[in-house]
Every structure is written in C-alpha cells, then in structure tokens.
Structure 1
Amino acid sequence: MSSTLTVHGMDGIAALDGKDLGHSSWWEVTQELIDTYAGVSGDHQWIHTDTARAQAGPYGRTIAHGYMILSWGIPMFAELLQVTGVGRALNYGVNKVRFPAPVPVGSRVRLHAAVASVEPVAHGGMRMTRSFTFELEGSAKPACVAESLTHFYP
C-alpha cells in the first residue's frame, strides 16, 4: 500500500494535477459483503447471492456486484489522499465506467489511483478528475476502471 498523501487547501489540490497516487491496500470480497450490498441495492440476482446455484454457473461461485466494487473507490481513495483546509468536497460524477473482469467471492481487490486533471469550476471551486483502476489480484484484467470526479470548494 502507498502511504497517505495529505494536501492542504485549493493550492494543494491544484498541485496534484497529473500525480500518480499509487495503490490502496487489498480488500477481500466476502459473501457477507456481497449479501449486504444486495440488501441495500435491491440487486439479488442469483450470480451474486445464490451460492449453490452459482457453483453450477459460469464462474463456479458467486461474484461481486460491479457497482459494489466501484463504491469502494471512496474509502480506498481515502487511504491514498487526504485533503484538509477546504470547506466541502462533493461527488460530481463518474465517467467511462467499465467492468472488464468478474470478481469472484474470496478475491482481493485494490485501487490504483491517479489525478488525471484538476481544473477550476464556478464559485472558486476545483474539479479533480481521478483515474481509478480496481486491480483484481492474480488477474491481467482489472475488476473495474472509471473516472471519478469531485468538486472541492474553499
């Protein structure tokens, strides 16, 4: 795992433009986490929650919801970067989301993140576009790739 970088204020955010932030720790995908996500999201498709049926399915076991893995971007990114001295940070959106590889239960995933760009927005804010690659241990293909956009305001 990379060490956590801390930046202060809008100038600190601007200085991150183009910076590779490294990797988070590995997170294990458990059936309990999958079932909890299914309960919250309402997505109870058998490939995620029916362990007996999934054994005979295409992956030999249950797989994580793609959006569950994507949702890990927030806490995994917090392992890599802390921003202090701003009034607020707001999720602005997500671009180019893809799920190239299934994530079977028992797998481990980590985030590789980089700051793709930082640009000014209205009201003195800054938009940080972050490149997220969720690496799947032992796989040449990532579990998920996406651009995550956050607005920071003084």
Structure 2
Amino acid sequence: MVSIYNNADEVLAAVGTSLGVTEWLNIDQARVTGFAEATNDHQWIHVDAERAKEGPFGATIAHGYLTLALAGSYFLSQLIDVRMRMGVNYGTDRVRFPAPVPVGASIRGRGEIIKAEVVAGGVQATVRVTVEIQGAERPACIVDTISRYYFD
C-alpha cells in the first residue's frame, strides 16, 4: 500500500519511516529482451537462453540496470505518493547489485525514507529501495533514490 504525503512538512517528518513492500513482479524473458533492445545491451547472459544455461547463472538474468529502473520508477511509485505541484528525479546515491535476477523470478520493492531536507521551493527526499527476489537470501538491488518535490 502506498504511503501518501500531502506537504513538505509531512515528508520531512517521515525520515526513518518504512514504506512497506510492493506487490511481486515477475521478470520474464520478454521484459529482459525488450530492455536489451531499448539499451542495445544484447549480452548473451541476458538474451540467449540456451547459452545462458551453461553460463555462470544457469539461466538468463535481468540486466542490473533494468532492475535499477524498476526500483526507481515502478516500485518507488507504489511505495510513496507525494501530493505536490511537480516532482523530479534528482539522482541516486550508492547503487549495489548483490544478486542476479534470473528470468522467471519475481521481485518486489521495499522502501524506507532515509533522509529529507528543505531545498528552494520544496523538499528533497532520499528513499532507499531494496529490490527483493522471492525466495532468495540476498536482494537484487539496493538503491538510494533522490527525488525533489515542489509544492504550491
């Protein structure tokens, strides 16, 4: 369930707040292949299922940057909803990929607001998104997303 914040003060007061988890998302080969097409990254560990069976992961895996993109847009939007005039992605801090995401696995995002500060016209918030792999011990990705929210 998404956490809703109506103004800058609510975002600032939420530092340290867990945002919970998203629904599971299955990562299928079509999504991985589509990302390969969009980014021109056709490395065999992502797109050649037959060759990947003999590779280090035993199957094709999602691109790390696909996982990162899902964390920063798809999962983040399910974790936090700031009622603002305008918001922008400001960047990321410290991105890590502790485990690969095999094609066919399901992943979800877990969020926490770890920092918030006033900026000109609004507030800048850092939300740590941990991308979990269903049934796996280690997460696929941990990223500190930075967003700026501007209010009326």
Q: What's the TM-score, normalizing by structure 1?
A: 0.93
- Aligned-partner Cα distance in 2 for 1:96–1:6: 25
Does residue 148 in structure 1 map to residue 145 in structure 2? yes
Number of positions where the alignment pairs a residue of Structure 1 with one of Structure 2: 150
CA distances 1:1-40 after superposition (whole Å, capped 9, x unpaired)? xx22222122222222211101111111100000000011
Aligned sequence identity (%)? 37
Return the alpha-carbon distance in structure 2 between the equivalents of residues 100 and 4 of structure 1.
26
Contact 2:82/2:149 (<8 A) preserved: no
Runs of 4+ in 1 over 6 A off after TM superposition: none
Q: Please give the alpha-carbon distance, in whole angstroms, between the structure 2 residues aligned to 1:12 and 1:120.
A: 12
Counterparts of 1:137 and 1:150, CA distance in 2: 27
Structure 2 segments unaligned to the other structure (5+ residues) = none
Query: Equivalent residue of 2:60, what SS?
Result: coil
SS where residue 72 of structure 1 aligns?
helix
Counterpart for residue 75 of structure 1: 74
Q: Is the 2:107–2:132 contact (alpha carbons within 8 Å) kept by the matching residues of 1?
A: yes
Question: Out of 58, 61, 80, which is 2:59 matched to?
Answer: 61
Equivalent residue, structure 1, for 2:126: 129
Q: Where does the alignment leave 5 or more consecutive residues of structure 1 unmatched? A: none
- Secondary structure at the counterpart of residue 8 of structure 2: helix
Shift of 1:107: 0.5
Shift of 1:49: 0.4
**2:39 corresponds to which residue?**
41
Give the 3-state SS of the residue equivalent to 1:79 in structure 2: helix
Partner of 2:29: 31
Using the alignment, how far apart are the partners of 1:125 and 1:79 within structure 2? Answer: 21
Deviations 1:111-141 (A, max 9, x none): 11000011011x2221101111111111111
In structure 1, what is the Cα distance between the partners aligned to 2:42 and 2:97? 18
